[in-house]
């Protein structure tokens, strides 16, 4: 998605909460089918003052909800209470001290790594759902075994149900952000407690065909750049059908190509209206 243009610690209703809930309920009543419903957003979802209300609505439905968060707001009691309505909370933790936190995550200047970790631990103590931790590994930045061990030590104290290892698989904001080879990523997995799972490429476990339209494909690309293969896997569509939608969106100027080495990613053309930070 590129560099973060604005950093803030202000929580407010960036997107109308009722509009989000209405869209979810409409989807559930029509073709609602998914492994999970995830709260992610273009930015940190816990900055939205109404995300807890959305999770409470999802709690009444059979599809489990997942909150994807960088953990920066979990130091606040009201955020921890709201996050507790999720079935799964997946938090990112890819650093081991303040210096590495600032280099890897480029946080708001007022955020302290020690307070972030403290907030995650406090949330773990009160959360009855499943807590997962994702570690984003970049070559030469936090990929050395001694650094991975430092991250693992932090995570062991948190005691999550799962640990996921990820790396650069989409065009990064900086060219020096390079992926680590899968074999090396796998070799780091045993350092974590519990042992980590490598999830460096999106794969759908769903055997169901999820109804897709040109609008739903565009909506997906507004959230993150994807290759044709990733769109195929996400919706369970034939590649020819995906190509048809991508061609139409390209012709109308709603998406653009981003070439990264041998891969071609498709991303929505950013506009002021579509930027929901």
The whole-number pLDDT of residue 17 equals 96
pLDDT digits (tens, 9 = 90+) for 56-80: 999 998 899 999 999 999 999 999 9
Q: What length is written for the chain?
A: 277
Least Cα distance to 113 among 126, 101, 128 occurs for 101
Residue 273 lies in a domain: no
* Vertex 61 angle, CA 60 and 67, to 5°: 90
Structure tokens at 183: 């074999």
Task: Check pLDDT > 80 for residue 237.
Answer: no
Q: Is there a contact between 99 and 69 (Cβ–Cβ < 8 Å)?
A: no
Q: Are 123 and 89 in contact (CB under 8 A)?
A: yes
In a domain, 174, yes or no: yes
**113 and 166 in a common domain:** yes
Asked if residue 189 and residue 227 are part of one domain, the reply reads: no
Tell me if 4 is assigned to some domain. no
Of 155, 73, 157, which is closest to residue 115 (Cα–Cα)? 73
Gap between the Cα atoms of 265 and 227, Å rounded: 4
Which pLDDT does position 275 carry in this prediction? 44
CA R_g for the chain: 19
In a domain, 208, yes or no: no
pLDDT computed for residue 271 by the predictor: 66
Q: Please provide the average confidence, as pLDDT, over all residues in the chain.
A: 88
For the stretch 1-53, pLDDT in tens is 677 888 999 999 999 999 999 999 998 888 778 899 999 867 899 999 999 99
Q: Looking at the structure, do residues 183 and 220 belong to the same domain, yes or no?
A: no
Question: Which CATH number goes with the domain that contains 24?
Answer: 3.20.20.70
CATH of the domain at 241: 1.10.10.10
Instruction: Judge if 192 and 219 occupy the same domain.
Output: no
pLDDT tens sequence across 82-135? 999 999 999 999 999 999 999 999 999 999 999 999 999 999 999 999 999 999
């Amino acid at each position: 998605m590129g560099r973060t243009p604005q950093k803030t610690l202000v929580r407010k209703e960036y997107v109308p909460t009722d509009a989000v809930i209405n869209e979810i309920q409409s989807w559930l009543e029509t073709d609602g089918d998914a492994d999970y419903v995830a709260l992610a957003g273009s930015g940190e979802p816990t900055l939205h003052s109404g995300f807890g209300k959305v999770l409470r609505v999802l709690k009444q439905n059979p599809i489990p909800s997942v909150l994807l968060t960088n953990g920066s707001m979990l130091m606040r009691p009201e955020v921890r209470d709201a996050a507790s309505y999720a079935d799964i909370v997946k938090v990112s933790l890819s650093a081991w001290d303040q210096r590495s936190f600032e280099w890897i995550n480029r946080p708001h200047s007022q955020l302290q790594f020690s307070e972030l970790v403290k907030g995650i631990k406090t949330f773990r103590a009160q959360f009855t759902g499943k807590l997962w931790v994702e570690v984003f590994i970049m070559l030469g930045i936090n990929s050395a075994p001694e650094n991975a061990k430092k991250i693992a030590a932090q995570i062991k104290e948190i005691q999550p149900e799962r640990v996921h290892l990820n790396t650069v698989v989409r065009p990064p904001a900086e060219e020096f952000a390079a992926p680590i080879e899968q074999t090396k990523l796998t070799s780091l997995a045993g350092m974590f407690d519990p042992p980590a799972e490598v999830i460096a490429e999106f794969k759908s476990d769903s055997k169901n065909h999820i109804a897709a339209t040109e609008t739903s494909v565009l909506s997906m690309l507004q959230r993150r750049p994807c290759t044709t293969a990733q769109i195929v896997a996400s919706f369970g569509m034939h590649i020819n059908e995906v190509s048809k939608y991508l061609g139409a969106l390209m012709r109308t100027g709603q998406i653009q190509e981003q070439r990264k080495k041998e891969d071609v990613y498709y991303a929505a053309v950013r506009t002021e209206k579509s930027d929901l930070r």
